[in-house]
Amino acid sequence: MGFPGDEEAAAKVPVRSSLFRYNSPLVQVSLIGLVCFCCPGMFNALSGMGGGGQVDPTAANNANTALYTTFSVFGILGGGIYNIVGPRITLAMGCSTYVLYAGSFLYYNHHHDQTFVIIAGSLLGVGAGLLWAGQGAIMTSYPTPGRKGTYISLFWTIFNLGGVIGGLIPFILNYHRENSESVNDKTYITFMCFMSAGKLISFAILSPDRVVRDDGTRCTNIKYSNVCTEAFEIVKLFRNWKLRLIIPAAWASNFFYTYQFNNFNGLKFNLRTRGLNNVFYWGAQMIGSVGIGYVLDFSFKSRRTRGLVGIGVVAVLGTAIWGGGLASQLNYSFHKLPERLDFKNSGNDFAGPFVLYFCYGLLDAMFQSLVYWVIGALADDSETLSRYAGFYKGVQSAGAAVAWQVDKHKVPLLNQLIINWALTTLSYPLLGLLVYLAVNDESKSAEDADTASGLPPPASMKDGYIEVGKSTPAAERDASQVPRKST
């Protein structure tokens, strides 16, 4: 976030021509993609098995309720924590909790005690809040404004490749267990190895002030923040009319996972086929993110027009896909469970549900990439976008916590589908209104930039920040009163 008169900080810096320079947005976004490949990607593959790979989804539902309850809190706080301690510590702390969560299901395989699983789930919510707040800031603030859709697609492709590989793990390791319902120990151990690798990769992420975009600008002009500042800025998020328009989309964006994973993939397919389905579900996400990324960056000259067209494309596809889901759902319920389908033995009966699950993955990536693009279009600096991304993940997680309890209490499947369809449909006109009112065709100058509350930016020291490059006596005197964070 720049401030008026900060000419030195705003000046461009020389950029080496190498495409793969270490401090480039391309390399840094690719690295955060690898971190999420190993941690959330593997978690998604585990969740996509239905019930965390267990025959009884109760333990997984309770763990996920605890997970998303704490996630909803630390998702919102995560942006502030990221601004104070930086990306490496934030991401490393977040990644550590994923390993513990996978290990809790390994424990459950032998002892069938939910306590450890639920505790691990609640701790994962803390870690996921930190990880995703940092990820959102990196993905949306490091690229130049005209290439945010492309970089979101790049991240989403790498991240969901983790779901593809993660789907292959239970498929291969449980291939000959056609009639089994719970995955074996090797599956959970393999997930834990990948998640541990993600923590190691997180230490390679650079802080925003060291990343230089291809046009020579830095991702931030600010090197200092403190707890009071971040607490104040987080409170102001709830006054921001732009973020209030995102709330329905944020709530919906993980709400449908419970229905898709537990009550579609989990109920309609046997164990090994669920693993195969997840390969294509997360593969479809790679295709969807690339497709919508092209629309959002290259379809029209006007950024606002690209955003509105992108919303229209996702709305049309979403209506068609949820309509197909309705046609499928009318054939079964909790009181009339379907016969489990197998990809080798079920013939043509397998094709329709498989294609529908593939389309669910396609829509998920397009929907979430669209929302991230809209968030990224509201600001360019890392500090503001870390808070925006944290707010989005916090609301998203609150919705997911409710969704897992909806499933636990056996709300009729048809009702669950209608709720999911209605939430996503409500999101489209609100996102369209936000793009029309708030997304400009050119980046705003520092003088016009919004703060998290949607108000004009404060004076350089009013909110506890210090301008990089200032050397006036007043600035030096104020700087001595603000804790410095090593970079």
Residue of 120, 130, 129 lying closest to 100 (CA atoms): 120
Query: For the whole model, what pTM was predicted?
Result: 0.76
Cα separation of the two ends of the chain: 17
State the burial class of residue 207 (Cβ atoms within 10 Å of its Cβ: 0-12, 13-18, 19+).
middle
Angle at 125 between CA 121 and CA 127, to 5 degrees: 110
Whole-angstrom distance, CA of residue 78 vs CA of residue 68:
14
Distance CA 405, CA 289 (A): 29
Q: Which CATH class is domain 240-441?
A: mainly alpha
Distance of CA 82 to the CA centre of its chain: 15
Distance CA 176, CA 195 (A): 26
| In the chain, domain spans | 18-210+217-224, 240-441
Distance CA 178, CA 186 (A): 16
Q: Give pLDDT tens digits along the chain (487 positions).
A: 333 333 333 446 665 656 678 988 999 999 999 999 999 999 988 877 665 655 556 777 788 888 888 999 998 888 888 888 888 999 999 999 999 999 998 888 888 888 898 999 999 999 999 999 889 888 888 888 788 889 999 999 999 899 898 888 877 877 776 555 567 788 889 999 999 999 999 999 988 888 888 777 777 665 556 778 888 888 888 889 999 999 999 999 989 988 998 899 989 998 788 888 988 998 999 999 999 999 999 888 899 999 999 999 999 999 999 999 999 999 999 999 999 999 988 889 999 999 999 999 999 999 999 999 999 999 888 888 888 988 998 899 899 889 888 888 889 999 999 999 999 999 999 999 999 999 887 654 333 444 433 434 444 333 333 333 444 444 444 444 444 444 3
DSSP 431: H
Owner of token pair 């209030």: 244
C-alpha distances (whole Å) from 47 to each of 102, 105, 130, 259 are: 10, 11, 20, 11
Burial letters for 444-480: b for 16+ Cβ neighbours within 10 Å, e otherwise? eebeebbbbbeeebeebbebbbbbbebeeeeeeebee
| Torsion sign, CA atoms 378, 216, 131, 154 | positive
Among candidate residues 74, 68, 174, the one with its CA nearest the CA of residue 390: 74
Chain position carrying tokens 């328009």: 245
Pair 397, 254: CB distance under 8 Å: yes
**Please, is 336 exposed, middle or buried when counting C-beta atoms within 10 Å of its C-beta (0-12, 13-18, 19+)?**
exposed
For 18-210+217-224, the fitting CATH number among 1.10.10.10, 1.20.1250.20, 3.10.180.10, 3.40.50.2300 is 1.20.1250.20
Of 99, 287, 107, 293, nearest to 199 (Cα)? Answer: 99
Question: What pLDDT score does 350 carry?
Answer: 94
Quick one: which of 70, 455, 76 has its CA closest to 230? 76
Same CATH topology for 18-210+217-224 and 240-441: the answer is yes
